[in-house]
Every structure is written in C-alpha cells, then in structure tokens.
Amino acid sequence: MIGGSTAERELAELKPWPNPAPAITREERLARLAKAQSLMTTDALIIGAGASLRYFAGVGWNATERMVAMLLPKRGEPVMICPRFEEGSLRASLGIEAPMRLWEEHENPAVQAAQVLAEWGAGSLAIDPALAFAMFDALRLAAPEVVMVNAAPVVDGCRSIKSPAELALMSQAKAMTLEVHRRAARILAPGITTGEVRRFIDQAHRALGADDGSSFCAVQFGEASAYPHGLPGEQKLQDGDLVLIDTGCRVQGYNSDITRSYVFGQPTEDQLRVWQVEKKAQAAAFAAVKPGVLCEEIDAVARRVLAEEGFSADYELPGLPHRTGHGIGLSIHEAPYLVRGDKTPLQPGMCFSNEPMIVIPGEFGVRLEDHFHVTEDGAAWFTPPQPAIDRPV
C-alpha cells in the first residue's frame, strides 16, 4: 500500500472516469431560483461571478474587476449584467434563459443594475456575500435609495442543502481523489520530494478527468505535518517520516477534499497512538451526526474525545488547532461549519468535511479528512475513511 511503484507505472494505468455523473439540468437551476425567491425578504437579489453564479445560472466564471452578475427579482425572471464584449461567451455558458443588460468598457455597470432595480420598483436589494466591496460600493452610489442587506441567508439557505444530482457529482470527485491518494502512496520512496508528489497528484487527477487537475494539493513530510497547511519549500522523504497529503479536485465545479496521514516505514509508538486517537475523534464526530443537531455540537464531540485522551479540549497544542469541519460543494469551504458558535441545525443534504486534526508541535501532525452528507437518520460517508496507519485507502 505504501511504496513499491513509480509515478510512470501508476499514471499508465489511469483512464478517464467511467460512467461520469450527469450535469446539473436547466430544470434544477430553475428550481434553485424559485427557492431563492421564496427565501428572499428583499425586492431583489444580486449574485456576482463565482460559485453562486454557477449554482444559480450555470456560469462557471471567476470574479474579476468587471461586473458579471445576475439580478433576481422577488417575483419574475432574472436579468444578467454583462460587458458587451463578453455577451457571446456568457450566452454560451448560461444554464438558464435570461435577458442581458450590456455595458461598454468605459461605462459603470452599477448604473445598469440600478436602472433594472428602478424598473422593478425595487426598494431593497440582497447582496451576494462574495461580491467584491468595490462593486457593492458602486451599487450603493448608483442606487442610494435602495436598502442593501446581506444575501447570505438566501445563498446559504439554497446552497447548503445538496440535491441528489449534486451528491452524485461530489461522490465522483471524492472517489477520484481517493483513487489518487491510493496511487500517490504507492510512488513514495526515500528521497522523493514533496514537489514530485504534488506533480504526480495533479497528473493523476487530470488523467481521471477532473476539471483542471488538482484544485489544490498539500504534501507534508515529517515535522512539516505539524503545521496544518505545511511549510514553504521542498522536503525530501526519509524513513520514519509521517506523511500528510491533503488534496482535491472538481467535477463540473463540485469539490473533493481528502486528507491521508501515514508513516513511511515503521511507525513509532507516539505516531501510532496519535493516529488512533485521531481516528477515534473522527469516528465519534461522524456518529454524532443527526438532523437537528447543531453544527457546533459535532466539533464539541470531537474535542471531548481528545480531552479524554489527554489533549487540549480547546485550541491549545498539542491538540486540535482549528474547527472539526467545513461545508463543501461548489466552494471547497462553504457554510455551515462544524465549529463552536455555529448553531445551524444539521439537515438532510448538508455536506461536510470531518477532520479533527491533532498537532504535536515540533514533531508531527495527523489529519484524517473524509466527507459525509447528512441523511434522514444520521450521516453517510462519501468515501470510506482510512482503515489503518499503514493503509491509506
């Protein structure tokens, strides 16, 4: 399971993923718009380029300094705000039908948006929480009479509950990343660098058909594993190093994010003990998941396990320095969160990471990260958790 192969051999065996999950349909996007309208307490909503615009309109564009946005009235059809020179590209990307208001490079797109709001008689507007401040400020100046509020309750209220189609896309992405983890463990050898492993992981994700290879990749050897997001620079693998690999990919925009921790060689008693406590905390968090349980309680359950095993029950080290988990979907980190203070009740269809990392300063860290979705009576793993310290998959 660990070592004994080469990158060339593993890559040669990889082929595009069989039976890929179907794309999100136009009908599902229209249902999302209708749900957003049902949740709105304002006359209109604006969604800027980014994950939420992909969610509602099918447009997988990243945000830039140019406003590309969707205006949605409380009742009626959406309107797209778009640079004129991007009209053709936007029409080709749209997963819904919507008229466009086009602006030239020298014009202020916020004025176009304000005109649409005036035509609708909108006195209030919910702002996409991911919209750049410069765009919000331009809207505020262009429509000073419009009351503007945070649209997070609407956006999160829609995006946090995944449909069967979304779960299928996420299941594919996570299964692909788990296969990459399996093969990455097999290419390890003394002296291999973290950069070589990252490059292999990206190539493997591409070979399986991920959107753009790895969406991110962290490879940490030895003491670097004691830093949740690693250290700068390259490391070379040595016998006895704890290996921590955290990576993911996207399938039609939907994310995976899986971490594996294991030892290259024979684990020490300390490494084995910490790994076993990590496994216990992750399992306890999963077992506590039920509809209606508050998000913060899942974090508290994991911390109680750590406290019972002699680690900090708070954020001090050695112990767990961050939250137990995060929501995931079209964004790799999205609301709600498994963290103290998040009192969101769990609902069927919510999806989370489960990663109560244990850090031993100056020595090593162990993070087991897998993802689950909330069901009617508990939780279901997307992919099986790591079974043993010497078996990544």
User: Are 94 and 179 found together in one domain?
Assistant: no
User: Are 139 and 195 found together in one domain?
Assistant: no
How far apart are the C-alpha atoms of 226 and 204, rounded to whole Å? 26
How far apart are the C-alpha atoms of 249 and 260, rounded to whole Å? 15
Q: Which of 101, 125, 158 delimits the end of a domain?
A: 158
How far apart are the C-alpha atoms of 157 and 309, rounded to whole Å? 37
The two structure tokens encoding residue 379 = 């939780």
Q: Is residue 12 part of a domain?
A: no
Q: Is residue 5 part of a domain?
A: no
320-340 residues labelled b (16+ CB within 10 A) or e (exposed): bbbbbbbbbbbbbebbbbbbb
How far apart are the C-alpha atoms of 123 and 117, rounded to whole Å? 8
User: Are 42 and 172 found together in one domain?
Assistant: no
User: Are 145 and 54 found together in one domain?
Assistant: yes
Q: Which of 138, 158, 178 delimits the end of a domain?
A: 158
How large is the C-alpha radius of gyration of the chain?
Answer: 23
pTM value is 0.96
Q: Is residue 17 part of a domain?
A: no
**Residue 144 maps to which CATH number?**
3.40.350.10
Q: Is residue 135 part of a domain?
A: yes
For residue 4, which amino acid is it?
Answer: G
The CB density around residue 9, as the number of other CB atoms within 10 Å, is: 12
User: Are 180 and 312 found together in one domain?
Assistant: yes
Overall domain count for the chain: 2
How far apart are the C-alpha atoms of 313 and 291, rounded to whole Å? 25
Domain encompassing residue 100: 26-158
At residue 260, the pLDDT reads: 98
What is the pLDDT tens value at each position of the chain, 393 positions in all? 899 999 999 999 999 999 999 999 999 999 999 999 999 999 999 999 999 999 999 999 999 999 999 999 999 999 999 999 999 999 999 999 999 999 999 999 999 999 999 999 999 999 999 999 999 999 999 999 999 999 999 999 999 999 999 999 999 999 999 999 999 999 999 999 999 999 999 999 999 999 999 999 999 999 999 999 999 999 999 999 999 999 999 999 999 999 999 999 999 999 999 999 999 999 999 999 999 999 999 999 999 999 999 999 999 999 999 999 999 999 999 999 999 999 999 999 999 999 999 999 999 999 999 999 999 999 999 999 999 999 999
Q: Is residue 387 part of a domain?
A: no
The two structure tokens encoding residue 82 = 């778009």
Helices (H) and strands (E) in the chain, counts: 11, 17
**Residue 275 maps to which CATH number?**
3.90.230.10
- Are 255 and 351 in contact by the 8 Å Cβ rule? The answer is no
User: Are 269 and 347 found together in one domain?
Assistant: yes
User: Are 168 and 52 found together in one domain?
Assistant: no
